Amino acid sequence: MNILKPQALKPGDTIGIVAPASHSALPSALLNGRRSLEALGFHTVTAPHLADRHGFLAGRDADRLADLEGMFTDPDIHGIVCLRGGYGSVRMLQRMDFDIVRTNPKVFVGYSDITALHGAIHQRTGLVTFWGPMVASDMSPGFHPYNRDAFMKAVTGADSIGSIVHPEDMPPVQTIHGGMAAGPLIGGTLSLLAAAVGTPYEFEYDGAILFFEDVGEEPHRIDRMLTQLLQSGRLDCLSGIVIGECAGCGSAPDNPAFPYGNFSIEEVFLDRLQPLGIPVIYGLGIGHGTFKATLPLGVRATLDGDARTLAIDEPGVI
């Protein structure tokens, strides 16, 4: 697939803030997040329906979609960062005009539920989008220096990101299977990747390096999602796999789903992924936890399973 890169952001540019999924319960989270972006030299603009609420959604589907498409078409908006995840991005995909995105390529950043949009945009346009921090979730009350620096390097730099720096405060990265791999980087939150299988909006897996993470999932649910990806053949054509931090994933000690026996998360990864025979590492600083490296999706990357490193080999912006 031919990839399309957006223009790099620079100080003075305007970032549009959208809510494609759920709303934020704290108005202060938006205010503090905007302040974090503006401290980096950007102007910020909020989408018209950003404060809307419709059940668990940040407004009705048509309004959230109009906000997103409007940010892409507005020539005064240079980049787009999502407010938060939650749920709802997938509901807009059938109505989304991907020609708008293709003809107005811009930096687009988010994670978690936003995985649905990353996959669809990748499949329909080839635009490089960015798995990275969101305004209410990660830039408020302050922007963690690791996340801030990774974000700026990814969206403003004309050079390749290089090796993803693993935070010293995190446990060491583990090797599930060694070896070297290279290919376009795709991925996101595992539950959204599994839900996209069989739809027109999933990533192109052939030859890719897949990264995934998730939050608050029991080991048997992680196993089910990986089994779905295995049985669909999606994992058979990969060149390598990077597993991020799976924050809060594990058997609940106060209410275990299987009190008579269980697997750990690590055992699930070994059981499901080691037999693939491709490089697999686990625990890199990407996930719903404190640390979030910003990753450009669709660009070339190199995975060293033995050294436990992931390197981004080209810039995601021009």
Amino acid identity, position 140: S
Which letter does DSSP use for residue 286 in this model? E
Name the maximum alpha-carbon separation found in the chain: 59
Tokens of 96: 């989304």
Bridge partners, residue 189, by sequence? 213
Bridge partners, residue 171, by sequence? none
Catalytic sites, residue numbers: 112, 213, 288
Q: At what angle do helices 265-273 and 219-231 cross, to 10 degrees?
A: 10
Amino acid identity, position 25: A
Tokens of 72: 């892409």
Report the b/e string of 192-216 with b at 16+ CB within 10 A: bbbbbeeeebbbebeebbbbbbbbe
Tokens of 310: 């992931």
Q: How far, in Å, CA of 307 to CA of 284, rounded? A: 12
Give the phi and the psi of residue 172 in degrees, each rounded to 5.
-60, 150
Query: Between the CA of residue 181 and those of 92, 163, 261, 283, what are the distances in Å?
Result: 34, 14, 35, 18
Which letter does DSSP use for residue 300 in this model? E
Q: How far, in Å, CA of 197 to CA of 229, rounded? A: 7
Q: How far, in Å, CA of 129 to CA of 297, rounded? A: 5
